Structure 1
């Protein structure tokens, strides 16, 4: 595998890595909190399910539309300029719904909440691409990159605790204004932490990524197969979160039982990402990806036949272990395959495929499930990801 990231500095310091993780928590936590609070605010004032669905779609849509700008800005200017954009966008995204609490329910308030969704979704993703690019470039080799991205992969789970859980608690304790005020402070914390990240030397004008098409990256060996693998595995996350509640309901499980089955999944994801840094020197990304795809495909084929909640919980745990191991491998491989001055663009392409999938695939799953039942959703996706494991042969470790 050609390592285009050669020339990166040595092992990243714990201080830098902590600043990147906490910075992502600040941005993603604010977005997750607004994504919870804004629909609740809308529903509490008599909003329809359609208006809530539109609001939720805006979070992912803006992430898709702004991803490439984020990647190119990061390639051209390093960490700090795009991070400022991310902080401003996400901060405004939390401030607008705070202002909306002083307005009567109606079109104006909905417009403010919609703008908040656009700003939070786009801003958090702007920051994510910037943070991931800096994290990958701070490592000197593939082993260090796997370790860095494993630790960074803990940030989304922690963000949901900081953002969603805290916002929910504050809504009950202090109302929506208290929740939005807290969420507004989170991006400001990310701005303060940015001071711990060193500035990069500006790139040479001749290597500026802005003069080339991002789609040229697909001509590089391995990029297309890697992004296809990433899309298949990302879709598996969406299938699991969509289909397990339906399957559990069909089995007559209680809401708490279904919640526990879904809850063991992120615990397993967190566990494997804590373990990967210890085992990184022994792992080959292509082998791990192939094994994860085959295991995921097998579990998906078996899932609809399982009647016991304990066995479904075991399947969810296994899926958490397999799918949780994927992101560090994909991110490390993506950085190795991409030219040093185009890491931001490559991350943007990855982000666009994931967010587009998360927007469109649930609609497809819903249509399929309504017509044929939820079992075919598992079987089709399991077969696709299992067959897609052949793509990993084109990713040499």
Structure 2
């Protein structure tokens, strides 16, 4: 019952976010915005999370998941209603800035809550990520048809309803639902030293980098494929269908995620995600045939579908319970940094060489990332890490030792 509730509200949040983001690009393009301006819009979504994700994670550890989820939900609702009432490009910037920060408040709250429910953590995170993929499947498809036939305001109104229901339910459901990520009983100082010292763990560092590369790639595809598709003669509903195919293949591959990890290992799968994604990005700008776009989108979904849940599980496995919010925030800092910086770089590439150049250059970056983030054998990692409170991967003691060695005077703050 508890797990089902969180999976349902995560699906609704995901529908709202993933449904509005491609419409932001399409609407800005219809208003005459340049490729560079659209790049700034994409970056705006990641600006505040890039700066404040670790802080939000610490707030989560101190104040608990319920309060953070309520705060984020209210902000998300405002960010959607604003452009709905005032449909201008400048309100889209306000919307994306606010949406970006509030969405991480909701996301880290749900990640920590679900990841610490009783049960196998790999399975819990797989189910959680599947709901996100369902939102990515439904959101762009529904918003594409809604935008084409009903207009911008209608599309954002539907997204607002998707956020309003979880917001109201957070106020109604028993507080016991949130006990797996309740506020810490220990008062903490708001410092970042212990969090960033975890980056001394090389495999964790590489997992966070891979997570950032995968997420920026997904964002670039959502932001710039609508433009590439429009140039190829596709309409908004067809573009929405292609974006939904990425989510559909992500759902399929995440269903078998646990078995893949058992067969090949987490590090090998993480590297493979970048290779498949890089090749897909290079290939997609070589055609203008909608059916071929759809086939490549399926492979892209396979590549992008595993990077996020695997890096999330790994980050939670190697972090103490009372520091998980910080580590999840640090992971989101990597993600949002890549989301913030990449549109500037690739927007400049697109301005100089066209939209197609954005895709092949991004593909090259992903392939280079696959080479330089190859992981050492995770000898101590347990595939069967559980989500119960107080239980972590067998890598945790070694990681805590690294932290303690680097900050000997702050041992009590870590534990």
TM range (shorter): 0.7 to 0.9
Q: What's the offset of the Cα at 1:127?
A: 0.6
The whole-number CA distance in structure 2 between the counterparts of 1:331 and 1:177 is 29
The whole-number CA distance in structure 1 between the counterparts of 2:19 and 2:284 is 32
**Alpha-carbon spacing, 1:282–1:166, altered in 2? closer, same or farther (3 Å):** same
Could you tell me which residue of structure 2 aligns to residue 8 of structure 1?
Answer: none
CA-atom RMSD in angstroms: 4.3
Could you tell me which residue of structure 2 aligns to residue 394 of structure 1?
Answer: 376
**After superposition, what is the alpha-carbon deviation per residue over 1:73-110, rounded to whole angstroms, capped at 9, x for unaligned?**
11223322212222332344456567x57xxx99xx96
Show structure 1 runs of 5+ residues with no match: 1-14
Quick check: 1:321 aligned with 2:307?
no
**Alpha-carbon spacing, 1:165–1:63, altered in 2? closer, same or farther (3 Å):** farther
The whole-number CA distance in structure 1 between the counterparts of 2:217 and 2:354 is 17
Q: What's the offset of the Cα at 1:235?
A: 2.9
The whole-number CA distance in structure 1 between the counterparts of 2:28 and 2:352 is 31
Verify the 8 A CA contact 1:220 1:337 in the aligned structure 2.
Answer: no
Q: What's the offset of the Cα at 1:323?
A: 1.3
Q: After alignment, is 387-396 or 29-38 more displaced? A: 29-38
**After superposition, what is the alpha-carbon deviation per residue over 1:33-75, rounded to whole angstroms, capped at 9, x for unaligned?**
676888999999xx7748x857765443333344223211112
**Alpha-carbon spacing, 1:193–1:39, altered in 2? closer, same or farther (3 Å):** farther
Out of 279, 295, 316, which is 2:276 matched to? 295
Out of 122, 137, 140, which is 2:101 matched to? 122
Q: What's the offset of the Cα at 1:282?
A: 4.4
Show structure 2 runs of 5+ residues with no match: 382-415
Out of 337, 343, 351, which is 2:332 matched to? 351
Out of 55, 61, 66, which is 1:75 matched to? 61
Could you tell me which residue of structure 1 aligns to residue 342 of structure 2?
Answer: 361
SS of corresponding position for 1:197? helix
Could you tell me which residue of structure 1 aligns to residue 4 of structure 2?
Answer: 18
The whole-number CA distance in structure 1 between the counterparts of 2:283 and 2:153 is 45
The whole-number CA distance in structure 1 between the counterparts of 2:359 and 2:9 is 36
Verify the 8 A CA contact 2:21 2:223 in the aligned structure 1.
Answer: no
Could you tell me which residue of structure 2 aligns to residue 267 of structure 1?
Answer: 248
Verify the 8 A CA contact 2:53 2:104 in the aligned structure 1.
Answer: yes
Q: What's the offset of the Cα at 1:333?
A: 1.1
Verify the 8 A CA contact 1:55 1:114 in the aligned structure 2.
Answer: yes
**After superposition, what is the alpha-carbon deviation per residue over 1:135-161, rounded to whole angstroms, capped at 9, x for unaligned?**
222255553345344434335426726
**After superposition, what is the alpha-carbon deviation per residue over 1:151-172, rounded to whole angstroms, capped at 9, x for unaligned?**
3433542672698479759966
SS of corresponding position for 1:346? helix
**Alpha-carbon spacing, 1:36–1:179, altered in 2? closer, same or farther (3 Å):** farther
**Alpha-carbon spacing, 1:303–1:343, altered in 2? closer, same or farther (3 Å):** same
SS of corresponding position for 2:179? coil
- Where do residues 136-147 of structure 1 align in structure 2 (5 Å cutoff)? 136-138=115-117, 141=120, 143-147=122-126
Q: After alignment, is 158-167 or 240-249 more displaced? A: 158-167
**Alpha-carbon spacing, 1:253–1:395, altered in 2? closer, same or farther (3 Å):** farther
Q: What's the offset of the Cα at 1:291?
A: 1.9
Quick check: 1:199 aligned with 2:179?
yes
Quick check: 1:330 aligned with 2:311?
yes
- Normalising by structure 2, we get a TM-score of 0.71
**After superposition, what is the alpha-carbon deviation per residue over 1:262-291, rounded to whole angstroms, capped at 9, x for unaligned?**
442222122223343676654622121122
The whole-number CA distance in structure 2 between the counterparts of 1:284 and 1:274 is 16
**Alpha-carbon spacing, 1:156–1:190, altered in 2? closer, same or farther (3 Å):** farther
Verify the 8 A CA contact 1:83 1:127 in the aligned structure 2.
Answer: yes
Q: What's the offset of the Cα at 1:132?
A: 0.9
**Alpha-carbon spacing, 1:334–1:317, altered in 2? closer, same or farther (3 Å):** same
**Alpha-carbon spacing, 1:165–1:307, altered in 2? closer, same or farther (3 Å):** closer
Could you tell me which residue of structure 2 aligns to residue 210 of structure 1?
Answer: 190
Verify the 8 A CA contact 1:147 1:280 in the aligned structure 2.
Answer: no
- Normalising by structure 1, we get a TM-score of 0.74
**Alpha-carbon spacing, 1:209–1:321, altered in 2? closer, same or farther (3 Å):** farther
